[in-house]
Amino acid sequence: MPAIRKQSPVSSELLPEFLVKHLGRHGDGVAHYNGKNIFIDGALPDERVLARVEGERGYIHSILDPSPERIQPPCPVASSCGGCCLQHASETAERTWKQDLVAEALAKSGITKSVVDPVISVPYGTRRRTTLSWKKAKSHFVMGYNARRTHHIVTTHTCMLLTKAISEASAVLREAIKDLVPSGKGSVSICDSDSGIDVVLDWVGRPDLQALEVLAALVHKHDWARLSLRIGTVIEPVAVQREPIVYMGEHPVRLPPGAFLQPSREGQEVLIDLVLKELKALSGPLLDLFCGLGTFSLPLAASLCRPVTAIDSDQKSVEYLAATGMVKALVRDLFRNPLLPSELENYEAIVLDPPRAGGAAQVLQIAQCAPKKGPKKIVMVSCNPFTCARDARTLTDAGFVIEKITPVNQFHRSMHVELVAVFSRV
């Protein structure tokens, strides 16, 4: 939360006063000034503030009338770290904003009659994966999250959102690699898998033997599962004590380095429960598109005892999912080569969990299915309300009806929100 930006002294008499109307999609307070919207960092709805204006952005000088939803940010680096945008708002205000954000996205796509359920939130301290930036110039080393809208790295020694294991691993890595990595910049991804910490560290050039020995020693000393280096576009394991695995429901799957994973175990279970609830009354074969490692495929196959076909473009994820023997897993790029109506007509229901860009090409093919031949129910899991709303409009224009929309907050204090949208067609 970039609360009150440090700046040269300015007389408050020279600054305009704003009444904040609402929160924008990035968590900024939105106010009107000279006929246009101004986005004010750290402001909340109904607050009166004095702010300095730069283009379309406003920076608070002072808060004249604070909102009752304003709180003291619980994070010590809230004013500089760009990881969160709403550290200064109560949890009630955050949930309301995210529910409204989903409704706004739908309205912008022309869908105004759907009711958005209250937000389901997972506990703090449950995020099991994170990516931090690092930069080294001569003897100066910094590792943390980027400041908002910049590439400046803010050193973050702790984060209230992460699991304890990730916080401890990031502290160890910061100390260990500051004198080890060559000059340059990169990132380090840390995953708290169900069999231990899994690290992917960007490396500039080829590591020497000493660096490899130090990194391998970290894995053994701290009982991590695996540490890999990303050199260019290639990820190479340095030390593996045991294969990282994750559970999809009750079913273990091997975890490739850098693979997509729901950000928390608790959030994943909420999403699985929501999907299973909608499909348990059906009896036909199921299709899981953008399946990843089988977040939904495996629980569906096990709980509903029906054939499940799972498709994704990531070859390694599909390989590991297929190795479970529970589903038919196929590699296919659904953006460039979506399944056609003739390939979809034998499935009673489809689960889609596309990336932030949404699944426009595939959704268009679903919409073109003949009503009596195509799937009767669609469950879409999305981490972007606006691309989800775009795809929802494609389905509703084809005769699908939105039954239910449930937001899930796995990204506390940030602009991100997950959602599960259910569609049916008679």
pLDDT 10s digits, 358-396: 999 999 999 999 988 889 999 999 999 999 999 999 999
Q: Which CATH number do you get for residue 326?
A: 3.40.50.150
Query: Of 194, 213, 246, at which residue does a domain stop?
Result: 246
Give the DSSP H/E element, type plus range, for residue 171: helix 164-177
Residues 6+ apart with CB under 8 A from 176: 214, 215, 218
100 assigned binding-site residue: no
Residue 1 lies in a domain: no
Q: Which two tokens stand for residue 349?
A: 């229901």
294 with 313, same domain: the answer is yes
Phi and psi at 152, nearest 5°, equal -70, 130
Q: Give the Cα separation of 76 and 67 in Å (integer).
A: 21
Q: Is the confidence at residue 263, as pLDDT, over 90?
A: yes
> Looking at the 3D structure of the chain, how many domains does it have?
3
262 assigned binding-site residue: yes
CA 419 to chain centre: 11
Query: Of 220, 246, 272, at which residue does a domain stop?
Result: 246
265 with 119, same domain: the answer is yes
Residues 6+ apart with CB under 8 A from 86: 1, 27, 93, 94, 97, 413, 414
Strand extents, DSSP E, 295-400? 308-312, 328-331, 349-352, 377-382
312 assigned binding-site residue: yes
Q: Is the confidence at residue 51, as pLDDT, over 90?
A: yes
Is residue 38 within 8 A of residue 56, CB to CB? The reply is yes
Q: Give the Cα separation of 123 and 162 in Å (integer).
A: 10
pLDDT at 54: 93
265 with 377, same domain: the answer is yes
Percent of the chain at pLDDT > 90 equals 90
18 assigned binding-site residue: no
Q: What is the largest CA-CA distance in the chain?
A: 71
Q: Is the confidence at residue 9, as pLDDT, over 60?
A: no
Q: Give the Cα separation of 305 and 225 in Å (integer).
A: 33
Residue 80 lies in a domain: no
38 with 177, same domain: the answer is no
Please provide the average confidence, as pLDDT, over all residues in the chain.
94
pLDDT at 5: 46
10 falls in which pLDDT band (50, 70, 90)?
low
398 with 312, same domain: the answer is yes
Query: Other C-beta atoms within 10 Å of 262: how many?
Result: 25
Is residue 353 within 8 A of residue 387, CB to CB? The reply is no
**So which residues are the catalytic ones?**
383
Q: Give the Cα separation of 365 and 150 in Å (integer).
A: 39
Quick one: which of 294, 285, 276, 296 has its CA closest to 376?
Answer: 285
pTM over 0.85: yes
Q: Is the confidence at residue 14, as pLDDT, over 90?
A: no
Q: Which CATH number do you get for residue 22?
A: 2.40.50.140
Q: Give the Cα separation of 12 and 15 in Å (integer).
A: 5
224 with 194, same domain: the answer is yes
232 with 268, same domain: the answer is no
Query: Of 214, 246, 278, at which residue does a domain stop?
Result: 246
pLDDT at 7: 47
403 with 275, same domain: the answer is yes
343 falls in which pLDDT band (50, 70, 90)?
very high
Place of tokens 């920076």: 59
Q: Which two tokens stand for residue 148?
A: 């908002």
For the segment 170-208, what is each residue's pLDDT rounded down to a tens digit?
Answer: 999 999 999 999 999 999 999 999 999 999 999 999 999
268 with 377, same domain: the answer is yes
Q: Is the confidence at residue 242, as pLDDT, over 70?
A: yes
For the segment 70-126, what is each residue's pLDDT rounded down to a tens digit?
Answer: 999 999 999 889 889 999 999 999 999 999 999 999 999 999 888 899 999 999 999
pLDDT at 12: 60
pLDDT at 290: 98
Burial of 245 (0-12, 13-18, 19+ CB in 10 A): middle
